[in-house]
Amino acid sequence: MNAAMTEPAAGDVRTALERSIAVLRATFRARFEAATAEPALREEKARILGKKGELTAILKQMPALEAGARRAAGELVNTLKNEVEAVFEERLRALDRGERDAELSAPAFDITLPGREPAPLGHAHPISIVRDEIVDILVSLGFAVHDGPEVETEENNFTKLGFPPDHPATDMQDSFWTTDGLLLRTHTSNIQVRAMSTHPPPMAYIAPGAVYRRDDDATHSPMFHQIECFLVDEHVSVAHLKGVLGTFAERFFGAGTPIRLRPSYFPFVEPGAEVDVGCPFCRRADGSRAGCSVCKRSGWIEILGCGMIHPVVFESCGIDPEKWSGFAFGMGVERVAIVRYGIPDIRLLFENDPRFLAQF
Ligand code: DAH
């Protein structure tokens, strides 16, 4: 009775196990197939082979079988377990391959794409902005750019321009001298000498560049920039000079900007003059000017020195002053920038504080 009671029970277990094994064998491939990523695949494997997995549950029931059935079921379960592991490994490799293929066939990653935050862009320094604008205007009038060195001979910087040997500008206190008797040029007028000593007239040049003087206060810097402009031809008159200056003033400071020439002295010109432009800050619509703090209530702002090239300069450069004549002018770039932008202290242009420079 007892045996009869247990027999069907062992048979039930066996049938149930066989069914479980059959179901698992029939479905595990599809379940692995359904996992489209590695974590899901591993979870599926754990559901079958893990501690609480379906195949593990089957194994746990094996002891209830009678010896013969247990051996047969054991073989089946072992084979199934091997199959599950093999199919799992194969599926894992396939997923891996798929990922790599997808990466390789995806549109190429463009490493030249700009970043999301645009890199902050710098811009030209106000001294360069103003210099380039002045150069552009004068080049458009027909002047060519002439370069020259910043370390210069006394002859080219002073003597040939008619400076007497005892002129204060030649003093140790006013200029930077090298130990071998050269100096840092104190103005770009040296280019007049260099050009006229090497090329025959006619000529029309501008010479932008750095110059050096022993000065340092709110309106003077030991290094600053000038643009020299000169023209040599036959029958050049003050009218030509005024024509160029007037055109420059209108183009740089705005249409209707007047100029005036005040007699002044420079050793290398005769007559010589200082040039004022009508103050661009207090100009009224009718062209008159109210006077303001920038122009010190005068309505005029001095921007440069000019004149007719002195015969002494022509002679020292080997040019016949009876045949040739010319005009010259020279302006300070920082001076013009200060006037243009209303900058209170020239040193701001050299300190390079980004908060200042960002305003241009
Ligand atoms: N070289 C002069 C200076 O540095 C500026 C100057 C004045 C230049 C008169 C000229 C000129 O060509 O004619 O102060």
Query: Is position 23 within any domain?
Result: yes
Same domain for 153 and 264?
Answer: yes
Question: What is the model's pLDDT at position 3?
Answer: 46
Q: 21 vs 59, 81, 82, 106, 187, CA distance in Å?
A: 10, 10, 13, 42, 102
Question: What is the model's pLDDT at position 4?
Answer: 46
Task: Report whether residue 205 contacts ligand 1, using a CB cutoff of 6 Å.
Answer: no
Provide the token pair at 17.
């196990």
Query: Is position 100 within any domain?
Result: yes
Rounded CA Rg of the chain: 47
Question: What is the model's pLDDT at position 283?
Answer: 83
Task: Report whether residue 280 contacts ligand 1, using a CB cutoff of 6 Å.
Answer: no
Task: Report whether residue 330 contacts ligand 1, using a CB cutoff of 6 Å.
Answer: yes
What b/e readout covers 270-291, taking b as 16+ CB neighbours within 10 angstroms? eebbbbbbbbbbbbeeeeebee
Pocket test for ligand 1, best of 157, 186, 268 (most atoms within 8 A of CB): 268
Same domain for 241 and 312?
Answer: yes
Query: Is position 112 within any domain?
Result: no
Residue for token pair 């009671």: 5
Find out whether 262 and 273 touch, Cβ atoms under 8 Å: yes
Same domain for 152 and 291?
Answer: yes
Query: Is position 19 within any domain?
Result: yes
Same domain for 156 and 216?
Answer: yes
Pocket test for ligand 1, best of 167, 230, 306 (most atoms within 8 A of CB): 306
Same domain for 140 and 233?
Answer: yes
Query: Is position 89 within any domain?
Result: yes
Q: Which of 105, 138, 165 is the last residue of a domain?
A: 105
Residue 220 CB contacts under 8 Å (≥ 6 apart), including other chains = 213, 346
Task: Tell me the residue ranges of DSSP E strands in the chain.
Answer: 144-145, 151-152, 183-184, 203-212, 223-233, 259-264, 269-278, 300-309, 325-332
Task: Tell me the residue ranges of DSSP E strands in 141-245.
Answer: 144-145, 151-152, 183-184, 203-212, 223-233
304 CA from centroid of ligand 1 (Å): 7
27 CA from centroid of ligand 1 (Å): 99
322 CA from centroid of ligand 1 (Å): 23
Same domain for 211 and 292?
Answer: yes
Same domain for 21 and 80?
Answer: yes
Task: Report whether residue 329 contacts ligand 1, using a CB cutoff of 6 Å.
Answer: yes
Query: Is position 194 within any domain?
Result: yes
Residue for token pair 């190429």: 108
Question: What is the model's pLDDT at position 9?
Answer: 67
In this prediction, the residues of the chain whose per-residue pLDDT falls under 50 are 1-8
Q: Which domain holds residue 217?
A: 126-357
Query: Is position 119 within any domain?
Result: no
Question: What is the model's pLDDT at position 1?
Answer: 45
115 CA from centroid of ligand 1 (Å): 50
How many angstroms separate the most distant Cα atoms in the chain? 151
353 CA from centroid of ligand 1 (Å): 30
pLDDT in tens, 75-105: 989 999 999 999 999 999 999 999 899 988 9
Same domain for 140 and 99?
Answer: no
Report the distance separating Cα 256 and Cα 254, nearest Å: 6
| Tally of domains in the chain | 2
Same domain for 97 and 167?
Answer: no
306 CA from centroid of ligand 1 (Å): 6
Report the distance separating Cα 56 and Cα 18, nearest Å: 14
Same domain for 53 and 159?
Answer: no
Provide the token pair at 127.
């001294």
Q: Write down the pTM of the prediction.
A: 0.69
Find out whether 272 and 263 touch, Cβ atoms under 8 Å: yes
- For the domain that residue 322 is a member of, what is the CATH number? 3.30.930.10
Question: What is the model's pLDDT at position 199?
Answer: 95
Query: Is position 115 within any domain?
Result: no
Same domain for 330 and 182?
Answer: yes
Same domain for 130 and 100?
Answer: no
Helix, strand or coil for residue 246?
helix
